[in-house]
Structure 1
Amino acid sequence: MKKGLILLFITMVIASITIYQRYYCEEFHNNIVITAQSHELVDTSIDESISNRILAVYPTKSYYYYLGYDGIGRYDIKNHILDVLEFEIYGDESGPFKTYHPKSKMVVNKKNTLYDFSKEDLDNFEKMLMDSEHNAQYFNKRWYRSGYEATFLDLDNHLIITNDVRGVKNTPTKILIFNVSGFIIIDKETNDIQVYFDESIAGKKSRDSAVSILKHVYGEHLIILNSIDQIGEDEKIVLLQLRDQYISKK
Structure 2
Amino acid sequence: MIKEELNNLYKLQEVEGQCKMLEKTIKSHPVLKNLSELKKTINNLDTEFKNKKERVNFLKKELKRIEQKTDEYCNMIKQFEERIYGGEVTTIKELKILRDKQEIARLKVKDYEEKAFEMMEELDDLETNLIQDKEIITKKKKEYNEKRLKTCQEIDRIKKELDMILKQKQQLEAGISTEILSKYNRIKEVKHNPVAMVSADRKCSGCMTEISVMIALEVKQCVGLVYCENCGRILL
TM-score where L is the length of structure 1? 0.20
Larger-gyration structure (1/2): 2
Q: Select the structure that is richer in helix.
A: 2
Structure that is richer in strand per residue: 1
